[in-house]
Amino acid sequence: MMWSWIPSNAALIRQLTLESAYLGIVPALLGLVISVPLGIACARWKWFYPPVLSAASILYALPSLALFIVLIPYTGITDTTVIIPLTLFSLCVLVPNVVDGMRSVPEPVRQAATAMGFGALRRLVQVELPIAVPIVIAGLRVAVVSSISLASVGQLIGVSSLGYLFTDGFQRDFPTEIVVGGVLVIALALVCDLLLVLATRLLTPWRPRRSRRAARDLAIGQPAAVLSGGAG
Amino acid sequence: MSFLSYAWNWLKEPQQWHGADGIPARILEQLGYTALSLIIAAAIAVPLGILIGHSGRGAVAVVNLANAWRSIPTLGLLVLLVITLGFSPLSWLVPLVVLAIPPILVNAYEGVAGVDPELKDAARGMGMTPWQQIRKVEVPVAAPLIVLGLRTGAIFVVATATIAAYIGLGGLGRYIIDGLATENYGEVAGGAALVVVLALAVQAFFILVRRLVVPVGLRQQGRPS
Amino acid sequence: MITFEGVTKRYPGGTVAVDHLDLTVPAGQTMVLVGPSGCGKTTTLRMINRMIEPSGGRILLDGQDIHQSNPSELRRGIGYVIQQGGLFPNRTIEDNIGTVPLLIGWKKSRARARARELMKLVGLDEQLARRYPYQLSGGQQQRVGVARALAADPPVLLMDEPFSAVDPIVRATLQDELIKLQADLHKTIVLVTHDVEEAIKVGDQVAIFRPHGQIAQVDSPERLLAAPADSYVENFLGFDRGIRRLSFLAASGLNLDDRTVVGEDTAAPVAAQTARDTGEDWALVVNAGHQPRGWASASDLDALPAGSAAGQARLEPYGHTFSVHSDSLRAALDATVLSPAGRAVGVDDNGEVVGTTTYERLRVAIHAAEEAEQRAAVDLAPEAAEP
């Protein structure tokens, strides 16, 4: 490892890290924004969910590189070419979580809200969505971590990110660069993950601290969840 | 031109279908890498997952593993191994296997751990040895999730194998990488289209496997809870 | 006042949950709907706040057809308590209780103040106000549910098996507290339960449902126990309704015998003679404070050495006492059955002995009470035939 390489390329490293962050976080957030109404619709109209899940499991099975390439004739070699497929992947993970989150609202609570005179919208915003938050954020964590990691693949079609350190390191036979790139991708992903865990804690002071639910929210097999819910 | 027309134009050239660089050869290569990696990964991860699920020990490690694993950049891992170890089966097989293990492991674990405790209790009460409990009760009940883990693992293996063309591996990724290098978008598109079809075919295969393997009484549309 | 006129609820597939129901819930009273599973009592309840819409007939709330009001607005004026509580897990206790006030536009500070008032009313420690539901026990959560239903001071309170999910001791406490609350608040309460004991304990009026949504009888608990309309009601009330009925008859009607009571300092021979005079050979020995100590038999008293006082004799335990002023004939009967001497000791509010009962005296009192009731019923219904 040639440690001196790091400080002398600090500006580049910073730039690439920001790009990776951008290419990872934006799709996850876009996915969130789209998945919430979509998930609410799936929870509300039960017939709607299976086709959505089937579409999601088909989409999720496709390699990201292939999807980037499919978009090139339409969006060129731009950030958008990477962001769109990653957003779709995020959707695949988030929609089931939104649905699960909505379903996690205990029926007596829903009944009580209606009986007290909550209209459907108010009940959604003040009761159901807040209760769904932990499960939704669990999905968001998976989405963010996966997106940050997958964004580096975009380097192969020329969309710049920390993946540049991999291809450049490969071409120059320079392991230091690759290791730095790898460590930064992982660190970036895990930092975002941690921030989301903290956000969950802050947003849900009403949940028991030590519980089995809390432990399972480490989002085991979330992509698997997409697949099992679809064609079975 | 649209993606499909690029791809189609390239695909219909007859020379793509012959020779060592021909489509059938590449498809077989990709399937070969996929199968090999999955088998090795399954051989490691399924028993391990079942054991952890049965005994409950190491569960915390599994849970933390699942999340951390997703952050590993496949391109970086491939490239690093090739540079330090040279291009050999180790440098591509290891990443393929390593990246496939977590979903298989986690799902096997969840499958066994998620077996109704009353069922496990009944099995123990009937006098089954732990091995019998695993074989006769826990694994059959966990079968859907185990197959799901394999299916998920397959997704990642197919995707990683495609990327691995960058470090010199064969398979359908070859078209993508070579096409990008020569700025032949037709080849790139053709390769991508084939990868998509292959990925879907692999998924269909596992759906079929699930139908065959999962006992009728357990077929449910459901999330791993 | 709530009126059901020919209300029917039919589900697609043919199930009739409620069948042409006519029922009047008097204002300011507790009406309990009781019946077997699936009899339609919960459906009936939930039609009042339009959680379920009837297929036929109409429901009037204080003369107004509820179908003409906006459902959400209607519900804000009706309190609703359910078995599992249904507390919002994501809100603190005080914000849970203040839900409806906040909904109708109160300022947060006012809603929270009201919440604390109600917490006191239902017996919850104010310290729990900022806690979350998961931190409370089942009984505490149920109290929060009741407080929440009362927050906006609705005239009507609907309760669906509110105490079924807690253990019997907590349940009895909550029932007692509901009775006390109602004595202060005089809400129109409709309560659904499957427990006929609860219905009798808590209800001013009880409606017994047959399976499939029809009412067998609506009456006060006393009248139900005294005069069940048919064998279905009789069976539903249970085989010991005769004894349970006694809980509605006051023990103050008993003619207690005070001749058998002797002070502990009374000379033994005198006490023995007192015991024999009553023809029973037992005397109740009391202390200086006129509180019971135990029963002494005439023969034991005779066996004492000369100069002994009654208090030195071997005393049989007197079992437990009943309060003459506040207990029912059922308590008196129970005390009599439990007393080793076959006689129960009636005490006043200070614990001082008033007198003792026998089975015979109880029988007389019961008969007298029944006659009084029948006379009262005849007075109210002059056209009814004389027995």
A123: Cβ contacts below 8 Å, ≥ 6 apart: A110, A113, A114
| CB-defined contacts A:C, below 8 A | 69
C229: Cβ contacts below 8 Å, ≥ 6 apart: C216, C217
Q: Residue C60 phi/psi, 5° resolution?
A: -115, 135
**What's residue A21's pLDDT?**
96
Domain with residues B3-215, CATH architecture: Orthogonal Bundle (1.10)
**What's residue C384's pLDDT?**
47
| CB-defined contacts A:B, below 8 A | 200
Q: How many domains does chain A have?
A: 1
Instruction: Based on the fold, state whether residues C312 and C338 are members of the same structural domain.
Output: yes
The answer to whether C262 and C332 have CB atoms below 8 angstroms apart is no
Instruction: Based on the fold, state whether residues C79 and C142 are members of the same structural domain.
Output: yes
| Beta carbons of A229 and B180 less than 8 Å apart | no
Per-residue pLDDT at A40 exceeds 60? yes
Q: How confident is the model at residue B221 (pLDDT cuts 50, 70, 90)?
A: very low
Domain C-terminal end among C180, C215, C240: C240
Q: Which helix (H) or strand (E) holds C159?
A: strand C156-160
The CATH number covering residue C189 comes to 3.40.50.300
Mean pLDDT value across chain C = 87
Domain C-terminal end among C240, C260, C293: C240
Higher pLDDT, B55 or A151: A151
Domain of A160 in residue numbering reads as 12-229
Q: How confident is the model at residue A229 (pLDDT cuts 50, 70, 90)?
A: very low
Closest by CA to B180, choosing from A177, A77, A23, is A77
The CATH number covering residue A187 comes to 1.10.3720.10
Q: What is the mean pLDDT of residues A3-16?
A: 89
Please state the pTM of the whole predicted model: 0.81
What is the domain partition of chain B in residue ranges?
Answer: 3-215
Token output for C385: 């035939």
C-alpha distances in angstroms, C310 versus B94, C272, C285?
100, 8, 7
Q: Residue C355 phi/psi, 5° resolution?
A: 175, -175
Distance (Å) from the C-alpha of residue A118 to the closest C-alpha of chain B?
30
Q: Give the span between the Cα atoms of A156 and A220, in whole angstroms.
A: 29
CA B21, B27, B28, B33 dihedral sign is: positive
Domain of C17 in residue numbering reads as 2-240
Q: How confident is the model at residue B45 (pLDDT cuts 50, 70, 90)?
A: very high
- Residue A43 is assigned to a structural domain of this protein: yes
Which stretches within B56-184 are classed as H helix? Answer: 59-69, 74-85, 89-113, 117-125, 130-132, 139-164, 173-181
Per-residue pLDDT at C324 exceeds 60? yes
- Contacts of residue B185 in chain A, CB cutoff 8 Å? 72-73
Domain C-terminal end among C205, C240, C275: C240
Q: How confident is the model at residue B224 (pLDDT cuts 50, 70, 90)?
A: very low
- Contacts of residue B63 in chain A, CB cutoff 8 Å? 215-216, 218, 220
Q: How confident is the model at residue C320 (pLDDT cuts 50, 70, 90)?
A: confident
Q: Give the span between the Cα atoms of C80 and C82, in whole angstroms.
A: 7
Q: Which of B64, B72, B166 sits opposite A156 (nearest CB)?
A: B166
- Residue A84 is assigned to a structural domain of this protein: yes
Neighbours of C377 (CB within 10 A): 14
DSSP per position, C69-96: S-HHHHHHTEEEEETT----TTS-HHHH
Interface residue of B67, B145, B220 to substitute, partner A, most A CBs within 10 Å: B67
Task: Answer yes or no: is the ipTM higher than 0.95.
Answer: no
Q: Give the span between the Cα atoms of A5 and A15, in whole angstroms.
A: 15
Per-residue pLDDT at B177 exceeds 80? yes
- Residue A7 is assigned to a structural domain of this protein: no
**What does the angle CA C123 – CA C124 – CA C126 come to, to the nearest 5 degrees?**
130
| pLDDT per residue as tens digits for the range A163-184 | 999 999 999 999 999 999 999 9
**What's residue A133's pLDDT?**
95
| Beta carbons of B162 and A66 less than 8 Å apart | yes
| pLDDT per residue as tens digits for the range A24-36 | 999 999 999 999 9
- Residue A97 is assigned to a structural domain of this protein: yes
Q: How confident is the model at residue A15 (pLDDT cuts 50, 70, 90)?
A: very high
Q: Give the span between the Cα atoms of A221 and B224, in whole angstroms.
A: 9
Token output for C13: 């597939």
Q: Give the span between the Cα atoms of C311 and C264, in whole angstroms.
A: 4
Per-residue pLDDT at C74 exceeds 50? yes
Q: Which of B71, B152, B159 sits opposite A145 (nearest CB)?
A: B71
**What's residue A110's pLDDT?**
94
Q: Which helix (H) or strand (E) holds C100?
A: helix C99-103
| Beta carbons of C133 and A206 less than 8 Å apart | yes
Among chain A residues, CA nearest to B105: A221
**What's residue A172's pLDDT?**
92
Q: Could you give the count of Cα atoms lying within 13 Å of A127 in the half-sphere of its Cβ?
A: 28
Interface of C with A (CB under 8 A): 49, 51, 72-76, 78, 80, 82-92, 99-100, 103, 132-134, 148, 158
Q: What is the mean pLDDT of residues C193-204?
A: 92
Q: Give the span between the Cα atoms of B78 and C165, in whole angstroms.
A: 58
Interface residue of A202, A203, A206, A210 to substitute, partner C, most C CBs within 10 Å: A206
Instruction: Based on the fold, state whether residues C325 and C275 are members of the same structural domain.
Output: yes
- Contacts of residue B158 in chain A, CB cutoff 8 Å? 61, 63
| pLDDT per residue as tens digits for the range C243-260 | 888 888 888 778 787 888
Higher pLDDT, C88 or C250: C88
- Contacts of residue B148 in chain A, CB cutoff 8 Å? 221, 224, 227-228
Classify residue C185 by burial, with Cβ atoms within 10 Å: 0-12, 13-18, 19+: middle
Token output for C208: 């017994």
Distance (Å) from the C-alpha of residue C160 to the closest C-alpha of chain A?
11
Q: Which of B62, B75, B193 sits opposite A152 (nearest CB)?
A: B75
Tell me which of B52-61, C93-102, C195-204 is least confident: B52-61
User: Which stretch, A135-139, B83-87, B89-93, C161-165, has highest mean pLDDT?
Assistant: A135-139
Q: Give the span between the Cα atoms of C326 and B115, in whole angstroms.
A: 58
Q: Which residues of A203-214 are buried (b: 16+ CB within 10 A; e: fewer)?
A: ebebbeeeeeee
Percent of chain A with pLDDT over 90: 82
The CATH number covering residue C276 comes to 3.10.580.10
Q: How confident is the model at residue C96 (pLDDT cuts 50, 70, 90)?
A: very high
Q: How confident is the model at residue A63 (pLDDT cuts 50, 70, 90)?
A: very high
**What does the angle CA C156 – CA C160 – CA C164 come to, to the nearest 5 degrees?**
135
Higher pLDDT, A107 or C374: A107
Instruction: Based on the fold, state whether residues C294 and C338 are members of the same structural domain.
Output: yes
Q: Which of B84, B167, B180 sits opposite A157 (nearest CB)?
A: B180
| Beta carbons of A112 and C80 less than 8 Å apart | yes
| Beta carbons of A131 and C89 less than 8 Å apart | yes
Neighbours of A173 (CB within 10 A): 10
Q: What is the mean pLDDT of residues C122-144?
A: 92
What residues 131-190 of chain A have any CB closer than 8 A to a CB of chain C?
131
Per-residue pLDDT at B65 exceeds 70? yes
Q: Which of A114, A116, A131 sits opposite C100 (nearest CB)?
A: A116
Chains B and A are in contact, defined as 3 or more C-beta pairs closer than 8 angstroms? yes
Neighbours of A172 (CB within 10 A): 12
**What's residue C380's pLDDT?**
64
Chains A and C are in contact, defined as 3 or more C-beta pairs closer than 8 angstroms? yes
| Beta carbons of A221 and B220 less than 8 Å apart | no
**What's residue A232's pLDDT?**
27
Q: How many domains does chain C have?
A: 2
- Residue A3 is assigned to a structural domain of this protein: no
Per-residue pLDDT at B200 exceeds 90? yes
Per-residue pLDDT at C382 exceeds 60? no
The answer to whether A95 and A35 have CB atoms below 8 angstroms apart is yes
